[in-house]
Structure 1
């Protein structure tokens, strides 16, 4: 046998693509399952409302959750919910046709938030903030009316990292987008099962699955968004130092309050004081007040 005959056969390109797609799907299921377990996102008997926008992230979220549901250690239901914001030219048939094909329970909320946003926000200004509030209000109201116990959103690892830097650069605070949170009114538990998933993997998965993507023409086309600035910065960092975004994402799960500067999180006043002696208050320090010292 010649040396060439002893080499393993190279599989056809189509077979390699299927193999890579299988590996990607397995990785996504593992990462989503781990996030659900790490943060206690889904419990037995949960009614999970998956918010479906028509973008790659929410399609991937729904697809992976439906796969995990079949083998999950707990019993839970899934309902896909889309908010039709009445944007001009929105293809209303795409999501219902896709969801009927899956056989998944779904509902389309119809609410004209588009007119509200375009009326209130001056031309050329960023619409995302108001649009997001109106969309969240409509989804929360529907979830409360129909007894959903969890609201699942499609934010991924890169979204969590970008939100941290948005708050750091533009709002002067260290906060981000937690994988699981309780709404301000205490009525809703919001979960982000894609918290460990890279956006690049979602893009590849959505392309491989052929999801019928619906672009957001209301705010997605705005070039001056702060989030886009941060995304470009993170992409440049990743190109320069591959793995940096993953390192930052892990750091968001390893917070050490005593190494920061927030007195609400760490009692700096009590740190290292001698014999419990009282310290002058801020007014005394700032005002330069004197006090009698023992001689």
Structure 2
């Protein structure tokens, strides 16, 4: 049985966690102008811990924000076997949160087009994305909020680096290819372990894992394990890597689409102002 001191210590730590999450989400909103006055934010609620936490935090910020914005939670029912249809409507009604459940049988489409035991995530993602974009237009949403967190962004960065030969990740804010929608990721600064702890505290009715039956991407699982191992063995390494995504120096990379190397010439009159390139130990 927990002692009185342990009880208050746990409450104090939980309160610190909540404040940290609100601060990090608020900072992401401010840094990237994710939400503006008059926005209608469509929060994509998958039933996982990340989207539950995102909705919860945005509702808290909505109550104290200096600007007015509306929130509507949207869930896509893809007709998956065993999909818990009643969980989200009950939860959202109890919380008095405006919501919309969109039902589209993408599961049958995927099963028809993808052979058994073949990866389905790519097609499923495209179908889901198209439906959500359409729903956003029908609901008049000005922003589409996805629950990707810091670790998702880092995993995507390393996946592109290791397997795609690209320096690319998930931006906190992007315009869709057709130019009609703005997608935002308010959890961009938030660690997955903090979300896990927060979800336990808040006791969200999280859906069962692997509801769709698809196996987790092997490459992404390897990257996730690598990141967790680095965090344990090398404190600060992951924070530095994540910070590097915001401090890009195109002139010290090799993409001539980002930096005009062809026009780069020396300034003979000002050469004394610069140290030799070899003195820069960190390139």
Q: Is the 8 A contact 1:52 1:82 kept in 2?
A: yes
Task: Look up the SS of the partner of 1:68 in the other structure.
Answer: helix
Cα deviation, residue 219, structure 1: 5.3
Task: Look up the SS of the partner of 2:262 in the other structure.
Answer: coil
1:74 to 63, 67, 80: 67
What aligned pairs does 1:150-229 form with structure 2 within 5 A after superposition?
Answer: 150-218=143-211, 222-229=215-222
TM-score, scaled to structure 2: 0.90
**Unpaired segments of 5 or more residues in structure 1?**
1-9, 276-295
Cα pair distance change 1:182/1:28, threshold 3 Å: same
Aligned to 1:141: 134
Task: Look up the SS of the partner of 2:112 in the other structure.
Answer: helix
Task: Look up the SS of the partner of 1:79 in the other structure.
Answer: strand
**Unpaired segments of 5 or more residues in structure 2?**
269-283
Kindly provide the CA deviation profile for residues 123-156 of structure 1, in whole angstroms up to 9, marking residues without a partner as x: 2222211111111111000001221100000000
Equivalent residues, number: 266
Distance 2:88 2:219 in 1: 29
Distance 2:129 2:112 in 1: 19
Distance 2:132 2:190 in 1: 24
Aligned to 1:292: none
Distance 2:129 2:217 in 1: 23
Q: Is the 8 A contact 1:32 1:195 kept in 2?
A: yes
Pairing 1:235–2:228 present:
yes
Cα pair distance change 1:78/1:274, threshold 3 Å: closer
What aligned pairs does 1:1-295 form with structure 2 within 5 A after superposition?
Answer: 11-218=4-211, 222-272=215-265
Cα deviation, residue 232, structure 1: 1.3
Cα pair distance change 1:130/1:55, threshold 3 Å: same
Q: Is the 8 A contact 1:128 1:219 kept in 2?
A: no
Kindly provide the CA deviation profile for residues 233-291 of structure 1, in whole angstroms up to 9, marking residues without a partner as x: 2122222212222211111011111111001111111112799xxxxxxxxxxxxxxxx
Q: Is the 8 A contact 2:80 2:212 kept in 1?
A: no
Cα deviation, residue 120, structure 1: 1.9
Distance 1:200 1:221 in 2: 23
Cα deviation, residue 223, structure 1: 4.8
Q: Superposition RMSD on alpha carbons, in Å? A: 1.7
Task: Look up the SS of the partner of 2:178 in the other structure.
Answer: coil
Distance 1:172 1:216 in 2: 31
Task: Look up the SS of the partner of 2:55 in the other structure.
Answer: helix
